[in-house]
């Protein structure tokens, strides 16, 4: 039995500019997305059955559905249908470490790995462009995880422009007990009177292309921060704690509730990690990944 093992990486948003609601109900946005080393693992193998079995090892607090409603299963089903193998048998197991409702894109990343892995299981009949289309049909962030690295995301997030890799940057990521629903966060943002976006994405992309690390650090911004911090004082305090622990800058991950701190080096990240781990069980050391490091790939084992 050949088992494919695929790593699913998390992401942070170096910028996140949110604009108006589109005719399709989504928001227009602009973001610089960055793959990071915090990861899940997906294992896929073909079976003689005519269905998809799915199992998951995860912290119970993550509330990961272990049935056909899971995005991984839906991704596998759509990929099989696109290949022309609808009804083929698959067994999928997910080792889940990226926390849910954190703004880290874990569910989307796992879906991207499922799309990639199922396609590979059947000899790669679909080109990457088709895999991205399947991903976009499942969620706005999914196509990014098929590209990896650093990229501008436009539209509802599915239109991607690859950027140069930023220098390896150490992070401490903390997921507090508070959970933030993405739909709730967008609704909250829509109800802020006279709200204006940071509009930081274009400036960030320019700083990355010019390899100006000082601007890459100082230009990070997230439109969700002000309203989310206002409604969740504990998340706002977590941001301050990261700064007090030595972060050069700290920002909300996506729409939250996790917050990441940019650390000066690995030693500083290690110190901050140990300072915060005792108070926040879901505290992680991570670093940014290049496109080559985070591109979907698999290894086969028996």
Whole-number pLDDT of residue 302: 67
| CA–CA dist 175, 68 (Å, integer) | 27
Report the percent of the chain where pLDDT is more than 90.
83
Any idea which residues carry the catalytic annotation? 11, 141
Q: How far is it, in rounded angstroms, from Cα 90 to Cα 57?
A: 18
Please name the residues in contact with 53: beta carbons below 8 A apart, sequence gap of 6 or more: 47, 90, 91, 92
Separation CA 190–CA 20 (nearest Å): 8
Task: Please provide the average confidence, as pLDDT, over all residues in the chain.
Answer: 95
Mean pLDDT of 219-225: 97
Alpha carbon distance 88, 293 (integer Å): 31
CA angle 66, 126, 34 (to 5 degrees): 65
Judge whether residue 67 has pLDDT over 90: no
Q: How far apart are CA 183 and CA 123, in angstroms?
A: 37
Instruction: Provide the pLDDT confidence category of residue 22 given band limits of 50, 70 and 90.
Output: confident
Q: ∠ CA(191), CA(194), CA(198), 5° rounding?
A: 95
pLDDT recorded at residue 281? 95
Q: By three-state DSSP, how is residue 73 classified?
A: helix
Beta carbons of 161 and 154 less than 8 angstroms apart: yes
Residues paired with residue 159 on neighbouring β-strands, in sequence order: 154
Confidence of residue 10 (pLDDT cuts 50, 70, 90): very high
Q: Specify the residue for token string 């000082």.
A: 214
**159-192 pLDDT per residue, tens:** 999 999 999 999 999 999 998 888 899 998 988 8
Q: Return d(Cα 195, Cα 262) in angstroms, integer.
A: 27
Quickly list DSSP for 56-117: EE--GGG----STTSHHHHHHHHHHHHHT-TT-EEEEEEE--SPSSSSS-HHHHHHHHHHHH
- pLDDT confidence tier of residue 144, bands split at 50, 70 and 90: very high
What domains does the chain contain, in order, with CATH numbers? 3-163 (3.30.230.10), 170-287 (3.30.70.890)
User: What was the pLDDT predicted at 176?
Assistant: 96
Q: Which residues contact 2 (CB under 8 A, 6 or more apart)?
A: 45, 46, 300, 301, 302
Mean pLDDT of 60-72: 89
Report whether 264 contacts 105 (CB < 8 A). Answer: no
- Residue 59 is predicted with a pLDDT of 92
Handedness of CA 250, 252, 253, 258 (dihedral sign): positive
Mean pLDDT of 68-94: 96
Q: What mean pLDDT do residues 70-83 have?
A: 97
């Amino acid at each position: 039995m050949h088992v494919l093992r695929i790593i699913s990486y998390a992401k942070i948003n170096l910028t996140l500019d949110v604009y108006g609601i589109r005719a399709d109900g989504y928001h227009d946005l602009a973001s610089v997305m960055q793959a990071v080393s915090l990861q899940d693992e997906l294992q896929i193998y073909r079976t003689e059955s005519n269905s998809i079995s799915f199992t998951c090892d995860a912290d119970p607090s993550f509330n990961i559905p272990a049935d056909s409603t899971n995005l991984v299963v839906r991704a596998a089903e759509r990929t099989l249908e696109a290949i022309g193998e609808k009804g083929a048998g698959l067994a999928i197991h997910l080792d889940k470490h990226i926390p849910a409702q954190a703004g880290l894109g874990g569910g989307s990343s796992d879906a991207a790995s499922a799309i990639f892995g199922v396609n590979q299981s059947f000899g790669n009949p679909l080109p990457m462009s088709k895999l991205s289309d399947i991903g976009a049909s499942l969620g706005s962030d999914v196509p990014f995880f098929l590209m990896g690295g650093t990229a501008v995301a436009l539209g509802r997030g599915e239109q991607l422009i690859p950027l140069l890799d930023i220098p390896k940057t150490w992070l401490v990521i903390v997921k507090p007990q508070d959970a933030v629903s993405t739909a709730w966060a967008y609704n909250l943002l829509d109800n802020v009177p006279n709200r204006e976006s940071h509009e930081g994405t274009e400036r960030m992309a320019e700083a990355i292309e010019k390899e100006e690390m000082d601007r890459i650090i100082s230009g990070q911004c997230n439109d969700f921060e002000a309203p989310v911090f206002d409604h969740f004082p504990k998340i706002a305090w977590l941001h301050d704690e990261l700064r007090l622990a030595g972060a050069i800058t700290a920002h909300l991950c996506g729409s939250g509730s996790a917050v990441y701190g940019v650390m000066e080096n690995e030693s500083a990240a290690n110190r901050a990690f140990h300072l915060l781990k005792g108070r926040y069980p879901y505290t992680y050391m991570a670093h940014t990944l290049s496109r080559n490091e985070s591109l979907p790939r698999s290894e086969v084992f028996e």
